[in-house]
Structure 1
Amino acid sequence: MAATVQDAIMLLGDSLTQGGYELNGFAAKLAHVYNRKMDVINRGFSGYNTDWILPVFEQVLYTPCFATQHEQQHVPKVRLLVIWFGANDAAPPPKDQHVPLDRFRANLRKLLWMVRSPESPRYSPDTRIVLMTPPPVNTAQRERAQRAKSPLKELDRDFEMTRRYAEAVGEVGQQESVPVVDLWGKLYDAAGRKEESLEEFLTDGLHLNEKGYAVVFNELDKTIKVNYPKYHYDNMQSVFAYSFDILANNPDKYMELTKKRSAFPE
Structure 2
Amino acid sequence: MISWPRVFLFGDSITQFAFEANGWGATLANKLVRKCDVLNRGLSGYNTRWAKLILPKLITKCSDSEPPAAVTIFFGANDGSLKEENPQQHVPLDEYTDNLRTMIRYLQSVDITADRIILITPPPIHEPSWEKQCFMKGYKLNRLNSIAGEYAKACVHVGQECGTEVLDLWTLMQDGGQDCTVYLSDGLHLSDKGNEFLESRLWPILEKKLGALPFILPYWMDVDNKNPEPSLFHNSTEKKEQS
- The answer to whether the superposition gives a TM-score over 0.5 is yes
Q: After the TM superposition, which segments of 4 or more aligned residues of structure 1 sit over 6 Å from their partners?
A: none
Gaps of 5+ in 1: none
Percent sequence identity is: 32
After the TM superposition, which residues 131-142 of structure 1 pair with which residues of structure 2 at under 5 Å, given as runs?
A: 131-142=119-130
For 1:129 and 1:14, locate their aligned partners in 2 and report how far apart those are by CA, in whole Å. Answer: 17
Question: 1:89 aligns to what?
Answer: 79
Q: Does 1:169 align with 2:155?
A: yes
After the TM superposition, which residues 198-213 of structure 1 pair with which residues of structure 2 at under 5 Å, given as runs?
A: 198-213=180-195
Q: Does 1:156 align with 2:138?
A: no
Question: 2:116 aligns to what?
Answer: 128
Deviation at residue 130 of structure 1 after TM alignment? 0.6
Q: State the aligned residue count.
A: 237
Deviation at residue 123 of structure 1 after TM alignment? 3.8
TM-align CA RMSD: 2.2
For 1:46 and 1:67, locate their aligned partners in 2 and report how far apart those are by CA, in whole Å. Answer: 22
Q: Is the 8 A contact 1:5 1:76 kept in 2?
A: no
Kindly provide the CA deviation profile for residues 1-35 of structure 1, in whole angstroms up to 9, marking residues without a partner as x.
Answer: xx532110000000000010111111101110100
After the TM superposition, which residues 24-173 of structure 1 pair with which residues of structure 2 at under 5 Å, given as runs?
A: 24-59=22-57, 61=58, 66-68=59-61, 72-94=62-84, 95=86, 96-117=88-109, 122-125=110-113, 128-147=116-135, 149=136, 151-173=137-159
Q: Does 1:223 align with 2:211?
A: no
Kindly provide the CA deviation profile for residues 150-188 of structure 1, in whole angstroms up to 9, marking residues without a partner as x.
Answer: x42221110100000000010000111111011111111
Gaps of 5+ in 2: none
Deviation at residue 251 of structure 1 after TM alignment? 2.0
Deviation at residue 76 of structure 1 after TM alignment? 4.5
For 2:68 and 2:227, locate their aligned partners in 1 and report how far apart those are by CA, in whole Å. Answer: 32
Deviation at residue 125 of structure 1 after TM alignment? 4.7
Q: Is the 8 A contact 1:114 1:123 kept in 2?
A: no
Q: Does 1:4 align with 2:2?
A: yes
Kindly provide the CA deviation profile for residues 211-236 of structure 1, in whole angstroms up to 9, marking residues without a partner as x.
Answer: 001111111112234xxx2x333x33
Q: Does 1:244 align with 2:221?
A: yes
Q: Is the 8 A contact 1:67 1:75 kept in 2?
A: no
- Structure 1 counterpart of 2:12, one-letter code: D
Q: Is the 8 A contact 2:108 2:114 kept in 1?
A: no
Q: Alpha carbons of 1:131 and 1:108: their partners in 2 closer, same or farther (altered >3 Å)?
A: same
For 2:107 and 2:184, locate their aligned partners in 1 and report how far apart those are by CA, in whole Å. Answer: 32
1:19 to 17, 20, 45: 17
SS at match of 1:42: strand
Q: Is the 8 A contact 1:166 1:184 kept in 2?
A: yes
For 1:93 and 1:128, locate their aligned partners in 2 and report how far apart those are by CA, in whole Å. Answer: 33
Report the TM-score, using the length of structure 2 for normalisation. 0.90
Report the TM-score, using the length of structure 1 for normalisation. 0.83
For 2:96 and 2:142, locate their aligned partners in 1 and report how far apart those are by CA, in whole Å. Answer: 18
